[in-house]
Amino acid sequence: MTSVGTLARGLDVLELFGEHAPELSQKEISERLGLPVPTVHRLTKLLLDRGYLTRDSHTRRFRLGLAAARLVSGLRLPDAAREHLRSLAADTRETASLAVLHGGEVLYLASESGGNLLTLRAAPGLHLPSHCTALGKCLLSQLPDEEARRAAGPEPYEALTERTLTRWRELQRNLEEVRRSGVALSHEEYELGLDAIAVPVVPADGAGPFAAGVSLPTSRAKAAARATIVERLREAARAMGA
């Protein structure tokens, strides 16, 4: 196989992974691409070595790795969107982020830190669970229930704190509330001492789903502060969508 042929087939493998197929086995890759299993083995080994794929040690199934996430996070966002994210972080003095769903997880596209001394860091390309984060629940709420449940993954969801929702029935009720209010909240569901607020970003071209969020220590997440953050988040989301 030529270098160009290897590259083309490697890209074919990566393109199989997405919202509807976050994990695949070698056999599934072989069947979907019509490639011999030994060829798939060589391709997946190369992609594993380069970090574009990762493999579950128990199920032996593949999913996209951090190298693929870094490529996605390197896509240039419109300057206006970045500017609104910086303004949001400056106004709230908290960490403001923009994210998408990628393989059922939250993928950070951009993040700006606020002016508070005690603030959170979230690098572009960071992956977090969708079931216990405000950004994740905001993104899931923009999908039909069937797609959202599939994206959230198999139950029980990982319990990161005692507040984490671990069953679809609980998460579904939460997503219904997010759809009604237009605001997703996470109160120490991902990490003790950490709160987050997120709202949808709806681009004029219909792309998405996207979500913008603000993370802050629980000690600063008082009712008045949350109300101010929600107001600024909605303003920034409208501006970024436009």
- Residue of 104 and 236 predicted with greater confidence: 236
What local confidence, expressed as pLDDT, does residue 127 receive?
85
User: Do 86 and 177 lie in a common domain?
Assistant: yes
Three-class SS state of 128: strand
What would the mean pLDDT of 37-66 be, rounded to a whole number? 87
Looking at the structure, tell me whether residues 59 and 110 fall in a common domain: no
How does residue 72 score in pLDDT terms, banded at 50, 70 and 90?
low
Residues 83 and 57 in one domain: no
Are 199 and 237 spatial neighbours (Cβ–Cβ below 8 Å)? yes
Q: Are residues 43 and 88 in the same domain?
A: no
**pTM of the entire structure?**
0.72
Domain range for 15:
3-64
Residue 4: burial class (beta carbons within 10 Å; 0-12, 13-18, 19+)? exposed
- Whether the pLDDT of residue 89 is over 90: the answer is yes
Tokens of 196: 């987050």
Q: What is the pLDDT of residues 139-150, one digit of tens each?
A: 999 999 999 999
Based on the domain organization, do 47 and 91 belong to the same domain? no
Please give the pLDDT value at position 23: 83
Question: Which of the pair, 67 or 95, is modelled with greater confidence?
Answer: 95
| pLDDT, tens digit (0-9, with 9 covering 90-100), for 165-207 | 999 999 999 999 999 999 999 999 999 999 999 999 988 766 6
Question: Do 9 and 87 sit in the same domain of this protein?
Answer: no
- 192: tokens are 């003790």
Residues 21 and 76 in one domain: no
**pLDDT at position 59 over 90:** no
Looking at residue 75, its pLDDT comes to: 55
The domain that holds 84 is classified in CATH as 3.30.450.40
Distance between CA atoms of residues 88 and 84, nearest Å = 6
> Picking from 19-23, 83-87, 131-135, which range would have the lowest pLDDT averaged per residue?
19-23
> Which of 84, 75, 80, 83 lies closest to 108 in space, CA to CA?
75
Percentage above 70 pLDDT, the chain: 90
**pLDDT value of residue 70:** 61
Q: Evaluate if residue 109 carries a pLDDT over 90.
A: no
